[in-house]
Homo-oligomer: A and B are copies of this chain.
Protein backbone atom coordinates (compact mmCIF):
# COMPACT_ATOMS: atom_id res chain seq x y z
CA UNK A 1 0.00 0.00 0.00
CA UNK A 2 1.54 3.25 -1.11
CA UNK A 3 2.03 6.23 1.26
CA UNK A 4 1.22 9.79 0.15
CA UNK A 5 4.21 11.24 -1.65
CA UNK A 6 5.68 7.83 -2.40
CA UNK A 7 6.39 6.86 -6.01
CA UNK A 8 3.97 4.41 -7.65
CA UNK A 9 5.01 0.84 -6.84
CA UNK A 10 7.02 -0.91 -9.55
CA UNK A 11 5.42 -4.26 -8.77
CA UNK A 12 1.87 -4.75 -10.06
CA UNK A 13 -1.05 -4.63 -7.68
CA UNK A 14 -1.86 -8.04 -6.18
CA UNK A 15 -5.19 -8.88 -4.62
CA UNK A 16 -6.06 -11.84 -2.40
CA UNK A 17 -8.26 -14.26 -4.40
CA UNK A 18 -11.05 -14.47 -1.80
CA UNK A 19 -11.29 -10.68 -1.47
CA UNK A 20 -11.26 -10.27 -5.25
CA UNK A 21 -13.98 -12.86 -5.69
CA UNK A 22 -16.18 -11.32 -3.00
CA UNK A 23 -15.75 -7.89 -4.59
CA UNK A 24 -16.66 -9.16 -8.08
CA UNK A 25 -19.63 -11.12 -6.73
CA UNK A 26 -20.96 -8.02 -4.98
CA UNK A 27 -20.55 -6.02 -8.20
CA UNK A 28 -22.68 -8.55 -10.12
CA UNK A 29 -25.24 -8.62 -7.31
CA UNK A 30 -25.54 -4.84 -7.43
CA UNK A 31 -25.92 -5.13 -11.21
CA UNK A 32 -28.99 -7.30 -10.66
CA UNK A 33 -27.93 -10.93 -10.31
CA UNK A 34 -29.03 -13.13 -7.42
CA UNK A 35 -26.39 -13.63 -4.72
CA UNK A 36 -25.95 -17.27 -5.73
CA UNK A 37 -25.53 -16.45 -9.43
CA UNK A 38 -23.17 -13.55 -8.72
CA UNK A 39 -21.00 -15.84 -6.59
CA UNK A 40 -20.78 -18.47 -9.34
CA UNK A 41 -19.84 -15.97 -12.05
CA UNK A 42 -17.18 -14.39 -9.82
CA UNK A 43 -15.81 -17.81 -8.87
CA UNK A 44 -15.43 -18.85 -12.53
CA UNK A 45 -13.57 -15.64 -13.39
CA UNK A 46 -11.22 -15.76 -10.39
CA UNK A 47 -10.57 -19.47 -11.12
CA UNK A 48 -9.17 -18.42 -14.51
CA UNK A 49 -7.01 -15.73 -12.89
CA UNK A 50 -5.70 -18.19 -10.33
CA UNK A 51 -4.58 -20.52 -13.12
CA UNK A 52 -2.87 -17.69 -14.98
CA UNK A 53 -5.47 -17.40 -17.75
CA UNK A 54 -5.92 -13.68 -17.17
CA UNK A 55 -7.64 -13.16 -20.53
CA UNK A 56 -10.60 -15.13 -19.13
CA UNK A 57 -10.49 -13.69 -15.62
CA UNK A 58 -11.76 -10.53 -13.96
CA UNK A 59 -10.55 -8.52 -16.96
CA UNK A 60 -13.92 -9.56 -18.42
CA UNK A 61 -15.96 -7.92 -15.65
CA UNK A 62 -16.46 -4.49 -17.30
CA UNK A 63 -17.70 -6.21 -20.47
CA UNK A 64 -20.03 -8.53 -18.51
CA UNK A 65 -21.48 -5.51 -16.69
CA UNK A 66 -21.99 -3.79 -20.03
CA UNK A 67 -23.71 -6.96 -21.27
CA UNK A 68 -26.07 -6.81 -18.28
CA UNK A 69 -26.75 -3.11 -18.82
CA UNK A 70 -27.51 -3.58 -22.54
CA UNK A 71 -29.64 -6.68 -22.08
CA UNK A 72 -27.20 -9.14 -23.68
CA UNK A 73 -26.85 -10.94 -20.34
CA UNK A 74 -30.12 -11.51 -18.50
CA UNK A 75 -29.27 -11.10 -14.77
CA UNK A 76 -32.46 -12.96 -13.72
CA UNK A 77 -32.61 -15.77 -16.27
CA UNK A 78 -35.34 -18.38 -16.34
CA UNK A 79 -33.22 -21.47 -17.04
CA UNK A 80 -35.43 -24.36 -18.08
CA UNK A 81 -35.25 -27.74 -19.76
CA UNK A 82 -36.97 -27.54 -23.14
CA UNK A 83 -36.33 -31.20 -23.98
CA UNK A 84 -35.49 -34.09 -21.71
CA UNK A 85 -34.42 -37.68 -22.43
CA UNK A 86 -32.99 -40.23 -20.00
CA UNK A 87 -29.46 -39.08 -20.81
CA UNK A 88 -29.83 -35.72 -22.60
CA UNK A 89 -31.32 -32.38 -21.70
CA UNK A 90 -31.62 -29.23 -23.78
CA UNK A 91 -31.27 -26.32 -21.37
CA UNK A 92 -32.70 -22.98 -22.52
CA UNK A 93 -30.32 -20.56 -20.81
CA UNK A 94 -32.42 -17.43 -21.37
CA UNK A 95 -29.26 -15.33 -21.89
CA UNK A 96 -27.81 -16.30 -18.51
CA UNK A 97 -24.18 -15.47 -17.78
CA UNK A 98 -22.23 -18.43 -19.17
CA UNK A 99 -21.01 -19.63 -15.78
CA UNK A 100 -24.60 -19.96 -14.53
CA UNK A 101 -25.80 -22.00 -17.48
CA UNK A 102 -22.67 -24.16 -17.69
CA UNK A 103 -22.56 -24.90 -13.96
CA UNK A 104 -26.20 -25.94 -13.96
CA UNK A 105 -25.55 -28.00 -17.13
CA UNK A 106 -22.67 -29.73 -15.35
CA UNK A 107 -24.89 -30.69 -12.39
CA UNK A 108 -27.57 -32.07 -14.70
CA UNK A 109 -24.99 -33.94 -16.80
CA UNK A 110 -23.65 -35.58 -13.63
CA UNK A 111 -27.14 -36.58 -12.47
CA UNK A 112 -27.97 -38.08 -15.86
CA UNK A 113 -24.61 -39.88 -16.01
CA UNK A 114 -25.26 -41.38 -12.56
CA UNK A 115 -28.47 -42.83 -13.99
CA UNK A 116 -27.58 -43.70 -17.60
CA UNK A 117 -23.77 -43.95 -17.56
CA UNK A 118 -23.43 -40.78 -19.64
CA UNK A 119 -25.19 -37.43 -19.44
CA UNK A 120 -25.29 -34.67 -22.02
CA UNK A 121 -26.66 -31.16 -21.62
CA UNK A 122 -27.01 -28.98 -24.70
CA UNK A 123 -27.00 -25.34 -23.62
CA UNK A 124 -29.05 -22.98 -25.79
CA UNK A 125 -28.61 -19.23 -25.87
CA UNK A 126 -26.12 -18.50 -23.14
CA UNK A 127 -23.38 -15.84 -23.08
CA UNK A 128 -19.58 -15.91 -22.71
CA UNK A 129 -18.82 -19.27 -21.11
CA UNK A 130 -15.23 -18.30 -20.21
CA UNK A 131 -12.67 -20.95 -19.28
CA UNK A 132 -14.32 -24.30 -19.97
CA UNK A 133 -11.85 -26.03 -17.65
CA UNK A 134 -13.77 -24.55 -14.71
CA UNK A 135 -16.76 -26.77 -15.52
CA UNK A 136 -14.92 -29.93 -16.61
CA UNK A 137 -12.51 -29.84 -13.65
CA UNK A 138 -15.44 -29.55 -11.28
CA UNK A 139 -17.07 -32.66 -12.84
CA UNK A 140 -13.79 -34.62 -12.77
CA UNK A 141 -13.40 -33.81 -9.05
CA UNK A 142 -16.69 -35.60 -8.54
CA UNK A 143 -15.23 -38.72 -10.17
CA UNK A 144 -16.57 -38.48 -13.74
CA UNK A 145 -14.84 -37.75 -17.03
CA UNK A 146 -16.06 -34.59 -18.73
CA UNK A 147 -16.11 -32.77 -22.04
CA UNK A 148 -17.30 -29.22 -22.70
CA UNK A 149 -17.54 -27.36 -26.02
CA UNK A 150 -18.69 -23.84 -26.86
CA UNK A 151 -19.73 -22.24 -30.13
CA UNK A 152 -19.83 -18.50 -30.51
CA UNK A 153 -20.14 -15.94 -33.28
CA UNK A 154 -17.37 -16.03 -35.93
CA UNK A 155 -13.98 -14.66 -34.86
CA UNK A 156 -11.52 -17.11 -36.49
CA UNK A 157 -10.70 -17.67 -40.15
CA UNK A 158 -12.26 -20.64 -41.92
CA UNK A 159 -9.58 -22.52 -43.88
CA UNK A 160 -9.70 -21.48 -47.53
CA UNK A 161 -11.31 -18.13 -46.70
CA UNK A 162 -9.78 -14.78 -45.88
CA UNK A 163 -12.31 -13.81 -43.24
CA UNK A 164 -13.64 -14.90 -39.88
CA UNK A 165 -16.09 -17.74 -40.49
CA UNK A 166 -16.07 -19.84 -37.34
CA UNK A 167 -15.32 -19.27 -33.67
CA UNK A 168 -12.08 -20.18 -31.91
CA UNK A 169 -14.12 -23.04 -30.47
CA UNK A 170 -12.84 -23.79 -26.99
CA UNK A 171 -12.65 -27.47 -26.05
CA UNK A 172 -12.08 -28.86 -22.57
CA UNK A 173 -11.68 -32.48 -21.47
CA UNK A 174 -11.04 -33.47 -17.86
CA UNK A 175 -10.55 -36.78 -16.09
CA UNK A 176 -10.17 -37.68 -12.41
CA UNK A 177 -6.50 -37.53 -11.45
CA UNK A 178 -4.03 -39.96 -9.96
CA UNK A 179 -4.53 -38.84 -6.38
CA UNK A 180 -6.96 -40.32 -3.89
CA UNK A 181 -10.51 -39.05 -4.01
CA UNK A 182 -9.46 -36.59 -1.29
CA UNK A 183 -6.26 -35.23 -2.84
CA UNK A 184 -7.36 -35.55 -6.45
CA UNK A 185 -6.22 -32.94 -8.93
CA UNK A 186 -7.96 -33.79 -12.22
CA UNK A 187 -6.08 -33.66 -15.51
CA UNK A 188 -7.66 -30.81 -17.45
CA UNK A 189 -7.12 -30.02 -21.13
CA UNK A 190 -8.40 -26.56 -21.97
CA UNK A 191 -7.63 -25.50 -25.52
CA UNK A 192 -9.12 -23.82 -28.57
CA UNK A 193 -9.00 -24.53 -32.28
CA UNK A 194 -7.04 -21.39 -33.21
CA UNK A 195 -3.30 -21.39 -33.88
CA UNK A 196 -3.17 -18.36 -31.58
CA UNK A 197 -5.74 -16.99 -29.12
CA UNK A 198 -7.46 -13.63 -29.39
CA UNK A 199 -5.99 -12.81 -25.98
CA UNK A 200 -2.48 -13.48 -27.30
CA UNK A 201 -3.10 -11.14 -30.25
CA UNK A 202 -4.19 -8.39 -27.83
CA UNK A 203 -1.09 -8.99 -25.70
CA UNK A 204 1.24 -8.84 -28.74
CA UNK A 205 -0.38 -5.57 -29.74
CA UNK A 206 0.15 -4.09 -26.28
CA UNK A 207 3.78 -5.26 -26.15
CA UNK A 208 4.36 -4.01 -29.73
CA UNK A 209 5.67 -7.42 -30.84
CA UNK A 210 6.07 -8.72 -34.36
CA UNK A 211 4.03 -11.85 -34.93
CA UNK A 212 5.35 -14.99 -36.61
CA UNK A 213 3.91 -15.50 -40.10
CA UNK A 214 0.88 -17.75 -40.42
CA UNK A 215 -0.86 -16.74 -37.19
CA UNK A 216 -3.36 -14.06 -38.13
CA UNK A 217 -5.19 -11.97 -40.71
CA UNK A 218 -5.94 -8.25 -40.43
CA UNK A 219 -9.53 -6.96 -40.37
CA UNK A 220 -9.53 -6.84 -44.17
CA UNK A 221 -8.53 -10.51 -44.36
CA UNK A 222 -4.91 -10.06 -45.42
CA UNK A 223 -2.20 -12.19 -43.77
CA UNK A 224 -0.15 -10.05 -41.40
CA UNK A 225 2.73 -10.20 -38.92
CA UNK A 226 1.90 -6.72 -37.61
CA UNK A 227 0.41 -7.07 -34.12
CA UNK A 228 -1.11 -3.58 -34.43
CA UNK A 229 -3.39 -4.72 -37.24
CA UNK A 230 -3.69 -8.47 -36.57
CA UNK A 231 -7.37 -9.18 -35.91
CA UNK A 232 -8.43 -12.68 -36.99
CA UNK A 233 -6.58 -15.78 -35.71
CA UNK A 234 -5.92 -18.52 -38.24
CA UNK A 235 -7.10 -22.05 -37.43
CA UNK A 236 -4.78 -24.65 -35.89
CA UNK A 237 -3.57 -26.95 -38.65
CA UNK A 238 -5.59 -25.16 -41.35
CA UNK A 239 -8.56 -27.32 -42.30
CA UNK A 240 -8.28 -29.33 -39.06
CA UNK A 241 -8.82 -26.41 -36.68
CA UNK A 242 -11.54 -24.71 -38.69
CA UNK A 243 -13.20 -28.05 -39.43
CA UNK A 244 -13.29 -28.82 -35.71
CA UNK A 245 -14.75 -25.38 -34.99
CA UNK A 246 -17.44 -25.91 -37.65
CA UNK A 247 -18.37 -29.33 -36.25
CA UNK A 248 -18.68 -27.76 -32.76
CA UNK A 249 -21.15 -25.20 -34.17
CA UNK A 250 -23.10 -28.08 -35.72
CA UNK A 251 -23.01 -30.29 -32.59
CA UNK A 252 -24.17 -27.45 -30.35
CA UNK A 253 -25.89 -24.52 -32.11
CA UNK A 254 -27.57 -26.53 -34.87
CA UNK A 255 -28.65 -29.27 -32.44
CA UNK A 256 -30.58 -26.68 -30.41
CA UNK A 257 -31.96 -24.76 -33.41
CA UNK A 258 -29.98 -21.62 -32.66
CA UNK A 259 -27.43 -21.27 -35.50
CA UNK A 260 -24.75 -18.66 -34.88
CA UNK A 261 -22.70 -18.71 -38.10
CA UNK A 262 -25.66 -18.74 -40.49
CA UNK A 263 -27.42 -15.97 -38.52
CA UNK A 264 -24.28 -13.85 -38.20
CA UNK A 265 -23.99 -13.59 -41.99
CA UNK A 266 -27.72 -12.98 -42.49
CA UNK A 267 -29.72 -9.76 -42.45
CA UNK A 268 -31.63 -10.81 -39.36
CA UNK A 269 -32.14 -8.25 -36.58
CA UNK A 270 -29.43 -8.70 -33.94
CA UNK A 271 -27.53 -11.07 -36.26
CA UNK A 272 -24.19 -10.03 -34.76
CA UNK A 273 -25.29 -9.81 -31.11
CA UNK A 274 -23.10 -11.73 -28.65
CA UNK A 275 -24.47 -15.15 -27.71
CA UNK A 276 -23.17 -18.68 -27.35
CA UNK A 277 -24.36 -22.26 -27.39
CA UNK A 278 -22.49 -25.06 -25.67
CA UNK A 279 -22.57 -28.59 -24.43
CA UNK A 280 -21.42 -30.35 -21.27
CA UNK A 281 -20.95 -34.13 -21.24
CA UNK A 282 -20.22 -36.30 -18.19
CA UNK A 283 -19.34 -40.02 -18.14
CA UNK A 284 -19.67 -42.07 -14.97
CA UNK A 285 -16.34 -43.76 -15.66
CA UNK A 286 -15.94 -45.57 -12.33
CA UNK A 287 -18.98 -47.65 -13.27
CA UNK A 288 -16.88 -49.21 -16.07
CA UNK A 289 -13.46 -49.22 -14.46
CA UNK A 290 -12.91 -49.52 -10.68
CA UNK A 291 -11.75 -46.21 -9.24
CA UNK A 292 -8.50 -47.59 -7.81
CA UNK A 293 -7.56 -49.18 -11.16
CA UNK A 294 -8.36 -45.99 -13.07
CA UNK A 295 -6.39 -43.73 -10.73
CA UNK A 296 -3.45 -46.17 -10.72
CA UNK A 297 -3.43 -46.22 -14.54
CA UNK A 298 -3.51 -42.41 -14.64
CA UNK A 299 -0.45 -42.38 -12.35
CA UNK A 300 1.37 -44.96 -14.51
CA UNK A 301 0.55 -43.10 -17.73
CA UNK A 302 1.74 -39.78 -16.33
CA UNK A 303 4.92 -41.40 -14.98
CA UNK A 304 5.65 -43.04 -18.36
CA UNK A 305 5.35 -39.72 -20.20
CA UNK A 306 7.41 -37.81 -17.65
CA UNK A 307 10.19 -40.41 -18.00
CA UNK A 308 10.58 -39.76 -21.75
CA UNK A 309 13.75 -38.00 -22.92
CA UNK A 310 12.99 -34.28 -22.60
CA UNK A 311 13.16 -31.74 -25.42
CA UNK A 312 15.76 -29.23 -24.16
CA UNK A 313 13.94 -26.47 -26.06
CA UNK A 314 10.71 -27.04 -24.09
CA UNK A 315 9.91 -26.19 -20.50
CA UNK A 316 9.52 -29.75 -19.25
CA UNK A 317 7.10 -32.58 -19.88
CA UNK A 318 3.82 -31.31 -18.47
CA UNK A 319 0.36 -32.82 -18.19
CA UNK A 320 -2.67 -30.84 -19.43
CA UNK A 321 -3.56 -28.35 -16.69
CA UNK A 322 -0.34 -28.85 -14.72
CA UNK A 323 0.95 -25.34 -15.34
CA UNK A 324 -2.40 -23.93 -14.16
CA UNK A 325 -2.24 -25.84 -10.87
CA UNK A 326 1.31 -24.56 -10.20
CA UNK A 327 0.28 -21.01 -10.96
CA UNK A 328 -2.80 -21.35 -8.73
CA UNK A 329 -0.62 -22.46 -5.81
CA UNK A 330 1.58 -19.39 -6.30
CA UNK A 331 -1.31 -16.97 -6.73
CA UNK A 332 -3.25 -18.31 -3.74
CA UNK A 333 -0.21 -17.27 -1.70
CA UNK A 334 0.95 -14.12 -3.53
CA UNK A 335 -2.40 -12.81 -4.71
CA UNK A 336 -3.74 -12.23 -8.22
CA UNK A 337 -1.84 -9.57 -10.19
CA UNK A 338 -4.06 -6.85 -11.61
CA UNK A 339 -2.54 -4.66 -14.35
CA UNK A 340 -3.20 -0.94 -13.89
CA UNK A 341 -5.68 -0.69 -16.73
CA UNK A 342 -7.86 -3.48 -15.39
CA UNK A 343 -7.66 -2.21 -11.80
CA UNK A 344 -8.78 1.22 -13.02
CA UNK A 345 -11.74 -0.25 -14.92
CA UNK A 346 -12.80 -2.25 -11.88
CA UNK A 347 -12.44 0.87 -9.71
CA UNK A 348 -14.75 2.69 -12.14
CA UNK A 349 -17.34 -0.08 -11.85
CA UNK A 350 -17.01 -0.05 -8.06
CA UNK A 351 -17.64 3.71 -7.97
CA UNK A 352 -20.67 3.32 -10.22
CA UNK A 353 -22.21 0.60 -8.04
CA UNK A 354 -21.14 2.25 -4.74
CA UNK A 355 -18.66 -0.40 -3.66
CA UNK A 356 -15.40 -0.19 -1.67
CA UNK A 357 -12.31 -1.57 -3.42
CA UNK A 358 -10.58 -4.62 -1.92
CA UNK A 359 -7.23 -2.95 -2.52
CA UNK A 360 -5.71 0.38 -1.52
CA UNK A 361 -6.41 2.88 -4.30
Give me the interface of A with B, judged by CB distance under 8 Å.
83, 85-88, 90, 115-118, 120, 122, 145, 158-163, 165-166, 171, 173, 175, 187, 189, 191, 195, 221, 236-237, 239-241, 243-244, 246-247, 249-251, 253-257, 259, 261-262, 264-266, 283-285, 287-290, 293-294, 297-298, 300-301, 303-305, 307-311, 314-320
- B317 near A158 (CB under 8 angstroms)? yes
Contacting pair A90 B288 (CB below 8 A) = yes
C-alpha spacing A294/B162, complex, angstroms = 27
On whether the beta carbons of B118 and A283 are closer than 8 Å, the reply is: no
CA distance A289 to B257 in the complex (A): 6
On whether the beta carbons of B117 and A120 are closer than 8 Å, the reply is: yes
Please tell me how many copies of the chain the complex holds.
2
Residues of chain B within 8 A of A175, CB atoms compared: 247, 250-251, 254
Bound Cα distance A162, B312 (Å): 9
Q: A163-B309, A307-B265 are in contact. Are A120 and B317 (CB under 8 A)?
A: no
Which residues of chain B are near A308, meaning CB under 8 Å? Answer: 158, 161-163, 165
A189-B244, A191-B240, A254-B289 known; A305 vs B161 contact (CB < 8 Å)? yes
Q: Complex formed: what's the CA distance from A236 to B256 in Å?
A: 31
Of B88, B256, B293, the residue contacting A117 (CB under 8 A) is B88
Nearest CB in chain B to that of A240: its residue? B191
Known contacts A117-B87, A255-B145; A261 and B309 CB within 8 A of each other = no
Pull 14 A–B residue pairs with CB atoms less than 8 Å apart, ordered by A: A85-B118, A85-B287, A88-B116, A88-B287, A88-B288, A90-B288, A122-B288, A160-B310, A173-B244, A191-B240, A239-B318, A246-B305, A257-B294, A262-B297
Q: In the complex, A316 Cα to B238 Cα: how many Å?
A: 13
- Inter-subunit contact A191/B243 (CB<8 Å): yes
